[in-house]
Amino acid sequence: MIQSSSRPANPSRLLQVLDGRTPDRPPVWFMRQAGRYLSEYRALRAEAPDFIAFCLNPEMAAEATMQPMRRFGFDAAIVFADILLIPRALGQDVWFETGEGPRLGEMPSVGRMRELADGAGDHLHQVGQTLSLVRAALEPEPERALIGFAGAPWTVATYMLDGHHNTIGKGERATARSYAYAEPDKVDGTLEVLVEATARYLKMQADAGAQVLKIFESWAEGLPDDLFDRLVLRPHQALVARVRELGVTVPLIGFPRGSAAHAERYAAEVDVQAVALDTACPLEVGKRVQAIKPIQGNLDPLLLRVGGAALDRRVDQLVEAWGQGPWIFNLGHGILPDVPVAHVEQVLKRIGAQ
């Protein structure tokens, strides 16, 4: 098994950037690059009985991970999985309603989840098997990196707390935020459990061959300063510290989506190796963050869907603003299911990656 400290002798462009260097061109990968916009993905997905079964089938998940790599030659593959596998490992029922998205059953007690947290990585060993299969497939091309990931504690907690209501994933996560005010002990205890479970899960991914780990904080927006500190900043600091305590040395990318106002502080105070920026982050803010550490982002997925001259102009603006420093070209959020494949190819050609 590949150890968590392993690095290729000739690091990929992605690893160069995460070391603070500026390669000959920005490395390119897209969030949700394996997904419904690809016909081959839709055909593969139809073979699985449900989405969770799909994620936990190593052969199918590895194939989904490799499909965009074969088609586009991205600089990095990201393992096909889902952030809601962690609640499942902590004893909470998780399922996906057709046309509606994820649903979760009643959340177990904090005490019960604490008993299960240490085994989260073992419980999700299928994801490690997927990573090992993909790592083997990528080995002949060491310039392409492999990314593992997990949802950040607050984002995962929002689903766990609100998962049986129709408000999940909508608005400002009002139910989960209300819990943070009304039941602070329950919410803070849940975040502590998620820090430990997620750290164990990320270690397992690094041991299985992930060369980079990404922390997805999808619901960091709309939080006042005190809640941002309590729900995002401090849990991220604790998670990174715990991952390092477990012996993981691969670089980490933090993605506090929707928090451009806090981006510089996040970059300075959370010990990740790069900060991913969302669509709404101004170019000037990105420059200031880039002065602290490498950045990733932030093309609008809607613009990728539209294509044409406007897409070319925005790619050029991003290259002009951030291309002289360590920067990973990516979207500001996940690729949309109806994005034309030709528009992805347009971006890759524009940035010189195809």
Kindly list the catalytic residues: 32, 36, 45, 82, 159
**3-state secondary structure (DSSP) of residue 146:** strand
H/E element, 350: helix 341-351
| Angstrom distances, CA of residue 264 to CA of 26, 48, 224, 285, 297 | 21, 42, 16, 8, 15
Question: Which residue is listed with tokens 């070319």?
Answer: 312
Neighbours of 159 (CB within 10 A): 26
C-alpha 203/C-alpha 3 separation (Å) is 10
Pairing of strands 94-97, 101-104: antiparallel
For the CA atoms of 335, 341, 346, 352, the dihedral, rounded to the nearest 10 degrees, stands at: 80
Give Cα 165 distance to the centre of its chain.
24
